[in-house]
Structure 1
Amino acid sequence: MKDIRNPPLLGVLGGMGPLAAADFLTKLAEETPATRDQDHVPYVAWGVPQIPERPAAILGRGESPLPQMLRGIAALKQAGAQAVAIACNTAHYWHEDLQREGGLPILHIADAACDLLAERGITGGNIGLIGTEGTLRAGFFQQRFAARGLGCIASSPVDQQRLVLPAIAAVKANDLAQAHTLAVQAVLRLHEAGARAVVLACTETPLAIDHAPSAATPLCIDATRALARACVSWYRHAAAAGDGRIP
């Protein structure tokens, strides 16, 4: 990539999951077609883990994280960010509010996941969805699947309680071996139910799946990696066009 005198700056809103932002930034680097340091996407990150729990807020059981997230967006904007990526699936429930009140364009993780499904030639059939209770209840993945002619199969309530939520909790506790065992079972159960692919719509679940090789790996669409790919596309477009708009 040619030298860019004033490169566009990506803002990364983190702090929502102890490993989620680090995982996103790793995948951002991995997805960048770079031959030298200067080809990578410039970013500034904001991470405050004390943001209130997102799933609890969506389910009406806790404080809204919106004020804290808006504080983060303001800090990123002040630092010079021209667009924002949120390293948390569930937080996209507040995407419209954050974009409107924060004053910066925000790439949407569900749009990015749908784009990656299309790149893999998956344009019909049912897609499995693994996420927090809040993400599933929010419905923004299901809405975007439907807009592209895709059906959705979510984990059963039993599998959600027995496999998905314990896997997420195990990642947060840095027990990746246990998380891997549970997450693989959850993915394979969705495949058995008819899912052509399974979108990992919680930033902890790809960390669990990737902990070791398994039969689940080829079935998975990592929403975090999809968002990283979208950010690379944004950067290349913004650098060429001289603005921060999302293409």
Structure 2
Amino acid sequence: MENFFTILGGMGTLATESFVHTLNRRTDAHRDQDYLNYIVVNHATIPDRTEFIKNPSLENPEEKLIEDIKIHSQLAPEFFVIPCNTAHYYFEEMQKSTKIPILHMPRIAVEAIGENFPTAKRIAVLATEGTILTGVYREELEAQGYEGVIPDEALQEKVNRLIYQEVKENKNLNFELYHEILADVALKMDCEVTILGCTELSVLYETYDLAGEFNIIDAQAETVHRTLLMMGKEDLLDEHK
């Protein structure tokens, strides 16, 4: 197979399914041959990224991630996509392990702020505790001239519940809790834009269209957009026009 890319997924599986579904839905295709060539690797048994970041005595997922990168680099994809924000804590080491470019999901999300909300300065980040602790979004926001704001303890508990208990454990796309969290950000955090920096939140973003009510940048949706551009395809839902 030529002219393809590789999706390193399974972190979690529903989020990987959401990435693929969003990618296909936004591809301008009228026959089988119009869709993109790609390989999906659903490595569901990679150790939990957030659990390790919070407790380094647990199994480190970095070794498994780098092993996957090395194995699948042998097939020579155009680039890798990793639909897991927390895994980007290991981005530098993963990229060092291959000559194949790896798309940086948090960086792509932050770059999209200026395209969609050019006057915004104060940006909220909703993500796993692991992603928050690593500072991957804070670093990208500061590097691009934004102020990054993270939830307080009470709001982070709601985000954790939505990600882990609702979506991951029970496959429940809890609209009421999702809307409540976004409303809390708008009312209490004084931020112009909210980044959804967790691919479980991206599943909710794909399902419920709240763009008319809240200023949202979804990291996964922006990575889908970048993927389509890099593969020379039009994005049917291009919000950047």
Sort the TM-score into its range (normalised by shorter chain).
0.7 to 0.9
1:173-212 mapped onto 2 (5 Å cutoff): 173-177=169-173, 179-192=174-187, 193-212=189-208
Sort the Cα spacing of 1:217 and 1:23 in 2 relative to 1 into closer, same or farther, 3 A. Answer: farther
- Equivalent position of 1:164 in the other structure: 159
The Cα shift of 1:212 comes to 4.0
Task: Specify the code of the residue in structure 2 equivalent to 1:183.
Answer: Y
1:204 aligned counterpart, secondary structure: helix
- Equivalent position of 2:7 in the other structure: 12
The counterpart of 1:60, out of the listed 40, 52, 55, is 55
**Percent identical residues:** 27
Cα distance in structure 2, aligned partners of 1:182 and 1:103: 42
Cα distance in structure 2, aligned partners of 1:23 and 1:206: 8
User: Is 1:91 equivalent to 2:87 in the alignment?
Assistant: yes
CA contact (8 A) 1:188 1:216 kept: no
1:105 aligned counterpart, secondary structure: coil
CA contact (8 A) 2:123 2:191 kept: yes
- Equivalent position of 1:28 in the other structure: 23
TM-score (norm 1): 0.85
TM-score (norm 2): 0.86
The counterpart of 1:44, out of the listed 17, 39, 55, is 39
Sort the Cα spacing of 1:215 and 1:35 in 2 relative to 1 into closer, same or farther, 3 A. Answer: closer
In structure 2, stretches of 5+ residues that fail to align are 234-241
Cα deviations across residues 12-47 of structure 1 (Å, max 9, x unaligned)?
Answer: 100111201111111222333444433332111111
Report how many residues are paired: 230
CA contact (8 A) 1:44 1:79 kept: no
Report which stretch shifted further, 101-110 or 33-42.
33-42
- Equivalent position of 2:147 in the other structure: 151
Sort the Cα spacing of 1:232 and 1:20 in 2 relative to 1 into closer, same or farther, 3 A. Answer: same
In structure 1, stretches of 5+ residues that fail to align are 1-5, 238-247
The Cα shift of 1:98 comes to 0.5
Task: Specify the code of the residue in structure 1 equivalent to 2:153.
Answer: P
1:10 aligned counterpart, secondary structure: strand
CA contact (8 A) 2:85 2:197 kept: yes
2:13 aligned counterpart, secondary structure: coil
The counterpart of 1:127, out of the listed 123, 128, 142, is 123
Cα distance in structure 2, aligned partners of 1:211 and 1:228: 15
1:68-79 mapped onto 2 (5 Å cutoff): 68-79=64-75
- RMSD between aligned residues: 2.1
Task: Specify the code of the residue in structure 1 equivalent to 2:120.
Answer: G
Cα distance in structure 2, aligned partners of 1:66 and 1:84: 16
Task: Specify the code of the residue in structure 2 equivalent to 1:52.
Answer: P
Cα distance in structure 2, aligned partners of 1:45 and 1:174: 23
Cα deviations across residues 115-153 of structure 1 (Å, max 9, x unaligned)?
Answer: 322221335321111000110111111111112221112
User: Is 1:230 equivalent to 2:234 in the alignment?
Assistant: no
Sort the Cα spacing of 1:114 and 1:78 in 2 relative to 1 into closer, same or farther, 3 A. Answer: same
